[in-house]
C-alpha cells in the first residue's frame, strides 16, 4: 500500500496540447480517490501517467516517497483494471487470476499461487466459476475476475479506468457496492476514473474534478456538493444539476426571474461591486409551498411560477419552469453547457417536489425556495462568492 503524490503534473502530447495541465493531488495511503470530468478532460491520461503507461512531460510522480517518473510500469507495482477487463479468453478464471503471478517467473511456487488465487476468489465470490472461461461469464463476474488479478499481486494501489461503464444500470449498482466493500476491507489506495455522478459521490473519500486538463476542486463528495468553488463544479456534480439563473444585485437584494431575495449583511459584503451574478440553487432546495416545512417557509422566499412540464417518478416529481435570461447570463450559461458536454439551450429551472404535490402543467403553482442554500457566481470567472464551510458528519 502506498501514498501517491502528484506534483505539478503536465502532459503535452505530440501536438503540444496540454491534456493535463499542472495538476497536484496528494492521495493518502488507503484513500479512495475519484477522478471525474467531461470527456477529454484528461482523466485517463492522468491515470496512465500514474501507472507508467504514459510519459510525464513535467512534474513529479511520487509513490511511497519515491519519484517514479522514470520507472517502468512493472517496477511501480500498481494494478490497473481497464474498462474492457483485458481477460484472456482461452484461459480459465483460475488461470486468468493466476496470470500476473505466473508472469513473475520463478517467484512463486505452485502452492503459493494456488493459495493466493483461492483467497482472491473467496473474497470475490468466484469459487464456483474457477474452471469456466471468461466468455461464459456475466459482465459483473468478468469484472470480478479482473479485480482478482489485481488482488493477487498485492499491488501498492489499484487504478480503475471506468470499470463499470460497460455494464447495465442494475449490475453497475451492485458492482459499485462490491468495489466499495472490497476497497474498505483491503484498505488499498485506489484511484478510480468515472464520469458517473453516483459512482463519484458514493465511492470516493475525495473527488478530484477536472476541466480541460486543469484541476478545479479536490474535496469530499459532501463538500463538492454543498460548496462547489465555481460554476463548473456546481454544474457538474449533482443530478438533476444545479439550477442557474440571472441574479441582478440591487439595493441589498438580488432579483431572480421568479423572486426577489433579501441578502444578509455578510452576503451583501461579498457581492459588493457586482451588478449581475448567476444564482445557483439545487432542485431539492425548492418545495411545494402547501407542503413545505415551516422552517423552510420562514427562512425562504415564496413565489408563484408557471410550470410547463411535470415528470412524475413515483417517489418524487420534477417540475420545469422556463425563464428569460439577459444576454450576458445567456452567453455564460451556453458556454457552461458546452463545457459540461450538454446540449440544452433552453433556460429553465427544474425543481424536485414531493410525489404528493398536486401540480398541473400550464397552471401557476406556489413554491418556496430555501434561500440559505443559494450560491452566487461571478459570470466572468465562474467563481463562487458565497462559499461557506461545510460540516462533515461526526466520526462515530
Residues that bind Mg ion (CB under 5 A): 44
Residues that bind ligand ATP in the complex, under the rule CB under 6 A: 13, 19, 37, 39-45, 195
Q: Which does 195 bind (CB under 5 to 8 A by kind): Mg ion, ligand ATP, none?
A: ligand ATP
CA 71 to chain centre: 30
Q: Which does 45 bind (CB under 5 to 8 A by kind): Mg ion, ligand ATP, none?
A: ligand ATP
Smallest distance from Mg ion to CB 22, Å: 20
Smallest distance from ligand ATP to CB 20, Å: 7
Smallest distance from ligand ATP to CB 388, Å: 30
Q: Which residues contact 283 (CB under 8 A, 6 or more apart)?
A: 240, 242, 243, 318, 349, 350, 351, 352
Smallest distance from ligand ATP to CB 12, Å: 9
Compute the distance between CA of residue 47 and CA of residue 162 in angstroms, rounded to an integer.
11
Cβ proximity to ligand ATP: between 13 and 88 the closer is 13
Name all contacts of 294-297 with Cβ < 8 Å and 24+ positions apart: 296/368, 296/370, 297/368
Q: Which does 243 bind (CB under 5 to 8 A by kind): Mg ion, ligand ATP, none?
A: none
Cβ proximity to ligand ATP: between 161 and 288 the closer is 161
Closest among 207, 213, 251, 210 to 226, alpha carbons compared = 207
Q: Which does 216 bind (CB under 5 to 8 A by kind): Mg ion, ligand ATP, none?
A: none
Q: Which does 13 bind (CB under 5 to 8 A by kind): Mg ion, ligand ATP, none?
A: ligand ATP
Cell numbers that stand for 280 in this block = 445557483
Cβ proximity to Mg ion: between 35 and 242 the closer is 35
Q: Which does 40 bind (CB under 5 to 8 A by kind): Mg ion, ligand ATP, none?
A: ligand ATP
Cβ proximity to ligand ATP: between 199 and 288 the closer is 199
The residue length of the chain stands at 396
Compute the distance between CA of residue 199 and CA of residue 265 in angstroms, rounded to an integer.
38
Beta carbons of 382 and 216 less than 8 angstroms apart: no
Torsions phi, psi for 40 (to 5 deg): 85, 5
Smallest distance from Mg ion to CB 210, Å: 11
Nearest to Mg ion by Cβ — which residue?
A: 44
**Alpha-carbon separation of residue 111 from 118, 123, 391 (angstroms):** 11, 19, 51
Cβ proximity to Mg ion: between 162 and 226 the closer is 162
Q: Which residues contact 347 (CB under 8 A, 6 or more apart)?
A: 245, 322, 323, 324, 325, 330, 333
Cβ proximity to ligand ATP: between 79 and 208 the closer is 208
In the chain, how many H helices and how many E strands? 12, 21
Smallest distance from Mg ion to CB 43, Å: 5
Cell numbers that stand for 375 in this block = 450560491
Cβ proximity to ligand ATP: between 44 and 371 the closer is 44
Smallest distance from Mg ion to CB 35, Å: 9
Smallest distance from ligand ATP to CB 212, Å: 8
Cβ proximity to Mg ion: between 210 and 374 the closer is 210
Beta carbons of 285 and 279 less than 8 angstroms apart: no
Compute the distance between CA of residue 24 and CA of residue 215 in angstroms, rounded to an integer.
8
- Can you give the C-alpha Rg of the chain in angstroms? 25
Amino acid at each position: 500500500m502506498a501514498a501517491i503524490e502528484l506534483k505539478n503534473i503536465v502532459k503535452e502530447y505530440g501536438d503540444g496540447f496540454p491534456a493535463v495541465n499542472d495538476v497536484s493531488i496528494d492521495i493518502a495511503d488507503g484513500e479512495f480517490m475519484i477522478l471525474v470530468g467531461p470527456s477529454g478532460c484528461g482523466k485517463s491520461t492522468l491515470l496512465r501517467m500514474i501507472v507508467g503507461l504514459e510519459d510525464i512531460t513535467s512534474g513529479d510522480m511520487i509513490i511511497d516517497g519515491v519519484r517514479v517518473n522514470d520507472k517502468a510500469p512493472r517496477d511501480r507495482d500498481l494494478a490497473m483494471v481497464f474498462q474492457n477487463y483485458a481477460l484472456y479468453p482461452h484461459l480459465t478464471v483460475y488461470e486468468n487470476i493466476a496470470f500476473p503471478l505466473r508472469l513473475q517467473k520463478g517467484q512463486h511456487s505452485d502452492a503459493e499461487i494456488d493459495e493466493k488465487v483461492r483467497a482472491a476468489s473467496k473474497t470475490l465470490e468466484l469459487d464456483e466459476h474457477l474452471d469456466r472461461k471468461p466468455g461464459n461469464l456475466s459482465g459483473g463476474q468478468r469484472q470480478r475476475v479482473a479485480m482478482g488479478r489485481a488482488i493477487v499481486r498485492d499491488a501498492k494501489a489499484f487504478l480503475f479506468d471506468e470499470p463499470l461503464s460497460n455494464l447495465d444500470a442494475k449490475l453497475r449498482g451492485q458492482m459499485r457496492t462490491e468495489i466499495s466493500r472490497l476497497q474498505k476491507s483491503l484498505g488499498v489506495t485506489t484511484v478510480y476514473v468515472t464520469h458517473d455522478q453516483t459512482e463519484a459521490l458514493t465511492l470516493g473519500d475525495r473527488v478530484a474534478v477536472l476541466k480541460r486538463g486543469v484541476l478545479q476542486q479536490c474535496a469530499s463528495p459532501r463538500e463538492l456538493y454543498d460548496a462547489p468553488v465555481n460554476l463548473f463544479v456546481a454544474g457538474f456534480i449533482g443530478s438533476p444539476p444545479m439550477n442557474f439563473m440571472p441574479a441582478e444585485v440591487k439595493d441589498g437584494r438580488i432579483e431572480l426571474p421568479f423572486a426577489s431575495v433579501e441578502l444578509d449583511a455578510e452576503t451583501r459584503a461579498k457581492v459588493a461591486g457586482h451588478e449581475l451574478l448567476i444564482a445557483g440553487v439545487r432542485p431539492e432546495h425548492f418545495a411545494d409551498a402547501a407542503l413545505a416545512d415551516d422552517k423552510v417557509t420562514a427562512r425562504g422566499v415564496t413565489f408563484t411560477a408557471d410550470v410547463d412540464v411535470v415528470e412524475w417518478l413515483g417517489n418524487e416529481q420534477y417540475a420545469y419552469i422556463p425563464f428569460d435570461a439577459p444576454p450576458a447570463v445567456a452567453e455564460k450559461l451556453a458556454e457552461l453547457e458546452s463545457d459540461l458536454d450538454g446540449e440544452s439551450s433552453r433556460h429553465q429551472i427544474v425543481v424536485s417536489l414531493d410525489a404528493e404535490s398536486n401540480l398541473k402543467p400550464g397552471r401557476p403553482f406556489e413554491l418556496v425556495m430555501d434561500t440559505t442554500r443559494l450560491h452566487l457566481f461571478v459570470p466572468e470567472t465562474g467563481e463562487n462568492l458565497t462559499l461557506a464551510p461545510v460540516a462533515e458528519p461526526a466520526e462515530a
